[in-house]
Each structure stands twice: as C-alpha cells, then as structure tokens.
C-alpha cells in the first residue's frame, strides 16, 4: 500500500510511519520540517504546510490511503491559526484526495470535539457536538471532523475519524514533558477533588488503531463515514496517574489543590487579560478548557471501535508505564 502520513514526523505520526514500514508499505510524509532520519529508512519526505493546497495536492498524488494526523493543538492561540491548520488544512487534504483518486482517508480527531466542560462518564459516539466551546482547538477539530465524515462517498473516497484520548508514551515531546516541567517549577496543582477519572491511550495502540481502521475502510463497511473514541479501555484516576509519573521521574508528588471553580475563574481572567494584551504566542498558566480537562471525568465506551475494526489495546497500562519509565 502507498500511504501518506501528514504530520508523519510528529509523535503519533512517526509511530504510524514505523508500523507501515514494518509491514512493507511505501510511505510518504508531509511535514513542516525536514526528517533526514525518516528519509534514511526509505520514507519519501515532503516539506510543507497542510494549509498550502499546492503541496498537499503534490503529497496526495499516487497514494492509496492518507493518514491525516497533522494539526495545531493547544489550549491557547489565535482562532485564525487553528482554523488555517485544522480546518483549511483538512479541506486541502480532502481536495487532494479527490483530485488524485485516493481511496481512503483516516482522520486523527480528538475526543475534545464532544467536550463541553462537564463530566463524560462512559459516553459513546452518539454524544453530540457541544453548543459552546472552551477553546479553539476542539472547535476547529470538530469542524474538520464533520467535513471528513460528510466527505465519505462510496466508490470515490472512504473516510473515518479516530478520537484517541491523551496519547502518551516514549518520545512524547508535549504532554509528559510539560507536566514534568510544571511540577518541577512548582506550578502544578491538583485541580478539583483529585478523584476524576480519565481515559488515555498508549501511542503504539493509537497507531495500530489507525492501521486497523484503514484496513476496515471498504465499500459497505461499518467504519465508513463514522467517528470512533479510542483509549486503553481502562480509565485511571487522573491525579494518581500524574503522581505515578512524577514518582518515575523522581519528582515529589503533588499535594496542593485548587478548586475547580477557582481554577475556572482564574482561567477566565487570564484569557481576558491575554486577549486584551494580544498575547497569543504565550499560553496562560490556566484556561477554562484546561481547568475543565483537569477536574472532570472523561472516559469513553469503546464498543464501536472493537466491533467495527477489531480494536483492542495491545499494550496495557502497566507495560506502557514500564516502557515510559525507561525513557525518563
């Protein structure tokens, strides 16, 4: 199979690339940097931004499947930046697939496209998109996800969207390093009562799910035109897991707390102050979205992914933490 991975030099994208190569597929990567290490192992690397329709069209040429993982993530920034990367970029991918007759598109979405700031206790894919948004990232991803699913057209382009929650593991350059840095600097507090349960997913499991979903994208298949939550299938107490992570990194465990209400109010104030000052290149220490993510339950029913494309985590939490510990 000839596969394009957008964002293939990133955290999840790189694992998808490696798994494709391991089974003998031809892989092309579109990313905003050069990746000489990937080129050295036979990956066709194109440098460019998904918001550039011309380079996207070039990348989609002669491909059988596209794994679209490229995105701008984050809790703060300009709406225009999120829109260009996550919405326009996805529109360009869809156009490139149609132009070059790509048969399959697997879109990396996010469970946050359904998050309205309240608890999500074992919800499935029937949960609706919210009517209010606490950050630009989930709003832009929701717009893009809906466009991807609407683009599913038997005989032309088959699409699906995957919603992996809190991807973690070795080589992570975002979630875990930021948690550790905040804890080291004394800027991390338990938000809420510290008992909220969350789902997460080990990165290799997330990558496997992408390949499984692509294989199940066949005419008349259940996967076509649908979105799927992905996780380990074993929710953890968020702050217990964070403290376990800190212990592995030999950082003192967290004990100090701040109420969800207070954190949310501080987030609102900081967002207002940053907007007035037009500080969009630096994230506030707290935002409404971050407070809600850190204090509420959000775990999901994986029945659809298990049923429709055979998803089953191959690496459990214990083994994943063991592998992660070797890299800290």
Under 8 Å between Cβ of 110 and 300: no
Residues ≥6 apart with Cβ < 8 Å to 153: none
Comparing CA positions, the residue from 199, 201, 200, 230 lying closest to residue 213 is 230
Q: Where are the alpha helices (DSSP H) in 185-310?
A: 203-216, 238-248, 260-276, 288-295, 303-309
328 vs 325: CA distance, rounded Å: 5
Under 8 Å between Cβ of 121 and 297: yes
127 vs 296: CA distance, rounded Å: 16
Comparing CA positions, the residue from 282, 297, 294 lying closest to residue 74 is 282
Q: For this structure, is 137 an active site residue?
A: yes
Q: Which of 15, 107, 137, 260 is catalytic?
A: 137
Cα angle 163-247-287, degrees, rounded to a multiple of 5: 50
Q: At what angle do helices 317-325 and 238-248 cross, to 10 degrees?
A: 30
Catalytic positions are 137
């Amino acid at each position: 199979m000839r596969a394009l991975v957008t964002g293939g030099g990133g955290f999840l994208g790189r694992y998808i690339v490696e798994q494709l190569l391991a089974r003998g597929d031809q892989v092309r990567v579109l990313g905003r940097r050069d990746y000489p290490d990937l080129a050295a192992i036979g990956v066709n690397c194109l440098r460019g931004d998904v918001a550039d329709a011309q380079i996207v069209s070039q990348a989609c040429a002669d491909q059988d499947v596209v794994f679209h993982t490229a995105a701008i993530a984050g809790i703060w920034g300009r709406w225009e930046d999120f829109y260009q990367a996550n919405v326009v970029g996805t529109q360009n991918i869809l156009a490139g697939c149609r132009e070059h007759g790509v048969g399959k598109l697997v879109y990396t979405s996010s469970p946050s496209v359904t998050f309205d700031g309240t608890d999500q206790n074992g919800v499935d894919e029937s949960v609706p998109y919210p009517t209010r948004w606490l950050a630009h990232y989930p709003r832009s991803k929701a717009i893009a996800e809906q466009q991807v699913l609407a683009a599913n057209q038997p005989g032309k382009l088959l699409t699906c969207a995957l919603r992996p929650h809190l991807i973690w593991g070795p080589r992570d350059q975002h979630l875990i390093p930021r948690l550790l840095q905040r804890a080291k600097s004394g800027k991390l507090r338990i938000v809420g009562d510290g008992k909220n349960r969350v789902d997460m997913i080990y990165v290799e499991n997330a990558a496997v799910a992408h390949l499984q979903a692509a294989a199940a994208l066949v005419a008349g298949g259940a996967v076509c035109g649908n979105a799927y939550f992905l996780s380990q299938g074993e929710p953890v107490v968020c702050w217990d897991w964070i403290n376990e992570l800190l212990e592995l990194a030999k950082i003192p465990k967290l004990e100090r707390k701040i109420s969800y209400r207070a954190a949310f109010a501080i987030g609102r104030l900081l967002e207002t102050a940053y907007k007035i000052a037009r500080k969009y290149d630096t994230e506030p220490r707290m935002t409404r979205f971050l407070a809600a993510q850190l204090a509420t339950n959000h775990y999901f029913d994986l029945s659809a992914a298990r049923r429709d494309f055979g998803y089953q985590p191959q690496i459990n939490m214990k083994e994943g933490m063991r592998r992660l510990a070797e890299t800290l």
